[in-house]
A and B are shown apart, each in its own frame.
Chain A
Amino acid sequence: MTTITLRRSEAGTAAVSPGRNQAFRTATGGLINRQRPLDFSFDGVRHLGFEGDTLASALLANGVRLVGRSFKYHRPRGILSAGSEEPNAIVELRTGARREPNTRATVAELYDGLEAQSQNRWPSLKYDALAVNAFAAPVFAAGFYYKTFMWPAAFWEKFYEPMIRRAAGLGRAANAPDPDTYDKAHAFCDVLVIGGGPAGLSAALAAGRSGARVILVDEDHQLGGRLLSERREIDFRSGADWAQEAVAELESMSEVRILSRTTLFGVYDHGAYGAVERVSDHLAVPSAHAPRQRLWRITAKHAVLAAGAIERPHIFGGNDRPGVMLAGAVRAYLNRFGVLPGRRVAIFTSGDDGWRTVADVAAAGGQVVAVIDSRSSVSPNLRREAEAVGARVIAGGYVSGTKGHLALKAIDVVDTYGSSETIACDCLAMANGWNPIVHLDSHLSRRPVWNEVIQAFVPGALPSGMAAVGASAGRLTLAECLKTGAQAGAEAALALGFAAAARDTLKTDPEGIAHTPLWRVAKPKGKAFVDFQNDVAASDVELAHREGFRAIEHLKRYTTLGMATDQGKTSNLAGLSIMAELTGQAIPSVGTTVFRPPFTPVAIGAFAGHHRGKEFRATRHVPSHAWCEEQGAVFVETGLWLRPAYFPVAGENDWMQTVNREVNTVRSKVGVCDVTTLGKIDIQGRDALALIERACANPFGTLAVGKARYAVLLREDGFVMDDGTIARMSDTHFVMTASTANAAKVMQHLEFCHQWLWPDLDVQMVSISEQWAQYAVAGPHARDTLRDVIDPGFDIGNEAFPFLACADVTVGGGIPARLFRISFSGELAYELAVPAAYGDAAWRAIMQAGSQYGITAYGSEALSVMRIEKGHAAGAEINGQTTARDIGLGGMLAKKKDYVGRLLKERPALTDPDRPILVGFHPVDPAQRLRAGARFLAVGASPSLEADEGYMTSVAYSPSLGHWIGIGLIRRGPKRHGERVRAYDPVRSADIEVEICSPVFVDPKEEKLRV
Chain B
Amino acid sequence: MRIRCSHCGERDNGEFSYLGDATLARPDGMEADAAAMYDYVYLRDNLAGEHRELWYHGAGCRAWLVVTRDTRTHTISDVSPARDVARTRRTGEAA
Residues of A in contact with B (beta carbons under 8 Å apart): 268-272, 297, 299, 463, 716-717, 744, 747-748, 751-752, 754-757, 759-760, 897-898, 903-904, 906-907
Which A residues are in CB contact (< 8 Å) with B42? 717
Which A residues are in CB contact (< 8 Å) with B82? 755-756, 759
Nearest-CB residue, chain A, relative to B17: A748
Which B residues are in CB contact (< 8 Å) with A270? 1-2, 74, 76
Q: Is the CB of B1 within 8 A of A755?
A: no
CA distance in complex: A299, B42 (Å): 37
**Residue B45 at the A interface, CB < 8 A?**
no
CA distance in complex: A450, B95 (Å): 55
Which A residues are in CB contact (< 8 Å) with B58? 744, 748
A721 → chain B closest CB, angstroms: 13
CA distance in complex: A270, B58 (Å): 20
CA distance in complex: A756, B29 (Å): 15
Q: Is the CB of B1 within 8 A of A272?
A: yes
Which B residues are in CB contact (< 8 Å) with A744? 58
Q: Is the CB of A904 within 8 A of B34?
A: yes
A968 → chain B closest CB, angstroms: 29
Contact with A along B20-41 (1 / 0, CB 8 A): 0000001111101110011011
Q: Is the CB of B86 within 8 A of A269?
A: no
Which B residues are in CB contact (< 8 Å) with A751? 56, 62-64
Q: Is the CB of B83 within 8 A of A759?
A: yes
**Residue B87 at the A interface, CB < 8 A?**
yes
B31 → chain A closest CB, angstroms: 9
B42 → chain A closest CB, angstroms: 8
Which A residues are in CB contact (< 8 Å) with B1? 268-270, 272
**Residue B43 at the A interface, CB < 8 A?**
no
CA distance in complex: A414, B86 (Å): 76
Which A residues are in CB contact (< 8 Å) with B27? 903
Which B residues are in CB contact (< 8 Å) with A757? 26, 28, 86
Q: Is the CB of B2 within 8 A of A903?
A: no
B41-60 at interface with A (beta carbon < 8 Å): 41-42, 54, 56, 58
Q: Is the CB of A756 within 8 A of B32?
A: no
CA distance in complex: A975, B53 (Å): 46
CA distance in complex: A655, B19 (Å): 43
Q: Which of B2, B64, B87 contacts A752 (CB 8 A)?
A: B64
Residues of B in contact with A (beta carbons under 8 Å apart): 1-2, 12, 17, 19, 26-30, 32-34, 37-38, 40-42, 54, 56, 58, 62-64, 73-74, 76, 81-84, 86-87, 90
B82 → chain A closest CB, angstroms: 5
CA distance in complex: A829, B19 (Å): 39
Q: Which of A271, A759, A906 contacts B86 (CB 8 A)?
A: A759
Which B residues are in CB contact (< 8 Å) with A747? 62
Q: Is the CB of A755 within 8 A of B86?
A: yes
Which B residues are in CB contact (< 8 Å) with A748? 17, 56, 58, 62
Which A residues are in CB contact (< 8 Å) with B84? 759
Q: Is the CB of B30 within 8 A of A755?
A: no
CA distance in complex: A904, B27 (Å): 12
Nearest-CB residue, chain A, relative to B35: A903
Q: Is the CB of B2 within 8 A of A756?
A: no
Q: Beyond the given A751-B63, A904-B37, could you list 13 further A-B residue pairs with CB under 8 A, ordered by the A residue number? A: A299-B12, A716-B40, A748-B17, A748-B56, A755-B83, A756-B82, A759-B86, A898-B30, A903-B37, A904-B34, A904-B38, A906-B34, A907-B34
CA distance in complex: A744, B62 (Å): 11
Q: Is the CB of B63 within 8 A of A755?
A: yes
Which A residues are in CB contact (< 8 Å) with B41? 716-717, 904
Closest 8 CB pairs of A and B: A270-B2, A759-B86, A755-B83, A903-B37, A269-B74, A269-B1, A755-B64, A759-B83
CA distance in complex: A757, B90 (Å): 10
Nearest-CB residue, chain B, relative to A757: B26
CA distance in complex: A755, B86 (Å): 8
CA distance in complex: A751, B82 (Å): 11
Q: Is the CB of A898 within 8 A of B34?
A: no
CA distance in complex: A906, B33 (Å): 11
CA distance in complex: A967, B81 (Å): 45
Q: A904-B34, A904-B37 are in contact. Are A756 and B74 (CB under 8 A)?
A: no
Q: Is the CB of B2 within 8 A of A759?
A: no
Q: A270-B76, A752-B64 are in contact. Are A898 and B28 (CB under 8 A)?
A: yes
Which A residues are in CB contact (< 8 Å) with B33? 903
Most buried by A among B27, B56, B63: B56
CA distance in complex: A299, B14 (Å): 14
Nearest-CB residue, chain B, relative to A895: B30
CA distance in complex: A906, B42 (Å): 15
Which B residues are in CB contact (< 8 Å) with A752? 19, 54, 56, 64
Q: Is the CB of B56 within 8 A of A271?
A: no
CA distance in complex: A897, B86 (Å): 22
Q: A272-B1, A904-B37 are in contact. Are A755 and B12 (CB under 8 A)?
A: no
B79 → chain A closest CB, angstroms: 12
Nearest-CB residue, chain B, relative to A718: B41
B71 → chain A closest CB, angstroms: 12
Which A residues are in CB contact (< 8 Å) with B62? 747-748, 751
CA distance in complex: A891, B34 (Å): 21
Nearest-CB residue, chain A, relative to B32: A903
Which A residues are in CB contact (< 8 Å) with B90? 759-760
Which B residues are in CB contact (< 8 Å) with A269? 1-2, 74
Q: Which of A272, A299, A759, A906 contacts B87 (CB 8 A)?
A: A759
CA distance in complex: A129, B37 (Å): 67
Which B residues are in CB contact (< 8 Å) with A759? 82-84, 86-87, 90
A683 → chain B closest CB, angstroms: 14
Q: Which of B2, B54, B63 contacts A271 (CB 8 A)?
A: B2
Nearest-CB residue, chain B, relative to A752: B64
CA distance in complex: A479, B93 (Å): 63
Nearest-CB residue, chain B, relative to A446: B73
Q: Is the CB of B2 within 8 A of A898?
A: no
CA distance in complex: A748, B1 (Å): 22
Which A residues are in CB contact (< 8 Å) with B64? 751-752, 755-756
Q: Is the CB of A756 within 8 A of B38?
A: no
Which A residues are in CB contact (< 8 Å) with B56? 748, 751-752
A sample of 6 inter-chain contacts (CB < 8 A) reads A272-B2, A716-B41, A744-B58, A747-B62, A751-B64, A759-B84
B91 → chain A closest CB, angstroms: 10
CA distance in complex: A978, B74 (Å): 60
Q: Which of B2, B40, B76 contacts A299 (CB 8 A)?
A: B2
Q: Is the CB of A898 within 8 A of B29?
A: yes
B73 → chain A closest CB, angstroms: 8
Which B residues are in CB contact (< 8 Å) with A268? 1
A720 → chain B closest CB, angstroms: 15
B40 → chain A closest CB, angstroms: 8
Which A residues are in CB contact (< 8 Å) with B17? 748
Nearest-CB residue, chain B, relative to A297: B12
Q: Which of B12, B34, B73, B86 contacts A756 (CB 8 A)?
A: B86
B53 → chain A closest CB, angstroms: 12
B7 → chain A closest CB, angstroms: 12
B70 → chain A closest CB, angstroms: 11
CA distance in complex: A183, B52 (Å): 36
CA distance in complex: A897, B17 (Å): 30
Nearest-CB residue, chain A, relative to B28: A898
Nearest-CB residue, chain A, relative to B56: A748
Which B residues are in CB contact (< 8 Å) with A755? 63-64, 81-83, 86
Q: Which of B12, B19, B32, B86 contacts A272 (CB 8 A)?
A: B12
CA distance in complex: A752, B56 (Å): 8
CA distance in complex: A898, B86 (Å): 19
